[in-house]
């Protein structure tokens, strides 16, 4: 009998109905839960995505830890708990900044915790380097952009700003190689 997500009364009803198909006079049977657990699927930008079972009352932080932690480049401000056809978006970074557990949605069995990749990372598997990403241009609109390429550490398109010097632009491109 699949019982994930049932409370104690629902569980007792399901088990007694199942027992009635095999045994007689099971109306006085009682079901006791020794330890309630949460089954949650952790997906997305974590080290080890998969299904994890932890004691009831476990929070998102515990499931992230169980999944090996977040991968570099995870988007912390738009994590999602999927429950049936409902999506609950929350800001995990706010929890990390404050330590306030009320910032995290309460988990239920069969929830899916999804950790998206930052839009800065894209959908191509690569080693994430925040410093290099910050220096690789700001994807400026080509009509008002300065393009830097050649012997620089981080070629890219940079937004033109008045009073910008050549040295400023080269430094924004990570300096010369």
> Does CATH number 3.40.640.10 belong to domain 36-127?
no
CB–CB of 42/115 below 8 Å?
yes
CA dist 171 and 165 (Å) reads 10
pLDDT confidence of residue 141: 57
DSSP label at residue 76 = G
State yes or no: pLDDT of 104 exceeds 60: yes
pLDDT confidence of residue 32: 79
CA dist 124 and 122 (Å) reads 6
Digit-coded pLDDT (tens) for 39-59 = 999 999 999 999 999 998 999
More confident site: 75 or 151: 75
- Give bridge partners of residue 145 from the DSSP assignment: 159
Average pLDDT of span 146-168:
81
Place of tokens 């995290």: 104
Domain ranges of the chain: 1-34, 36-127, 130-172
pLDDT confidence of residue 79: 95
Burial class (CB in 10 A: 0-12, 13-18, 19+), 47: exposed
* Cα separations in angstroms, 70 against 4, 45, 66: 26, 6, 10
- Give bridge partners of residue 44 from the DSSP assignment: 115
pLDDT confidence of residue 167: 87
CA dist 32 and 17 (Å) reads 16
Digit-coded pLDDT (tens) for 132-151 = 555 555 555 566 778 887 88
CA dist 78 and 89 (Å) reads 6
Residues of the chain above pLDDT 90, percent = 34
State yes or no: pLDDT of 4 exceeds 80: no
Digit-coded pLDDT (tens) for 105-124 = 999 989 999 999 887 665 55
CB–CB of 67/42 below 8 Å?
yes
**Tokens standing for 108?**
């239920």
CA dist 74 and 49 (Å) reads 13
- Prediction pTM value: 0.61
Place of tokens 């708990």: 81
């Amino acid at each position: 009998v699949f019982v994930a997500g049932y409370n104690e009364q629902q569980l007792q009803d399901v088990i007694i109905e199942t027992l009635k198909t095999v045994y007689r006079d099971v109306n006085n049977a009682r079901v006791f839960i020794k330890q309630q657990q949460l089954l949650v699927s952790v997906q997305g930008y974590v080290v080890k995505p998969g299904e994890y079972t932890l004691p009831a009352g476990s929070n998102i932080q515990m499931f992230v830890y169980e999944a090996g932690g977040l991968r570099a480049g995870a988007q912390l401000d738009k994590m999602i708990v999927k429950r049936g056809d409902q999506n609950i978006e929350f800001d995990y970074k706010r929890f990390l900044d404050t330590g306030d557990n009320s910032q995290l949605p309460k988990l239920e069995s069969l929830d899916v915790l999804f950790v998206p990749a930052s839009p800065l990372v894209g959908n191509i598997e690569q080693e994430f380097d925040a410093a290099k990403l910050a220096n690789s241009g700001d994807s400026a609109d080509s009509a008002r952009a300065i393009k830097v390429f050649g012997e620089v550490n981080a070629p890219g398109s940079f937004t033109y700003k008045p009073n910008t010097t050549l040295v400023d632009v080269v430094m924004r491109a990570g300096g010369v190689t």
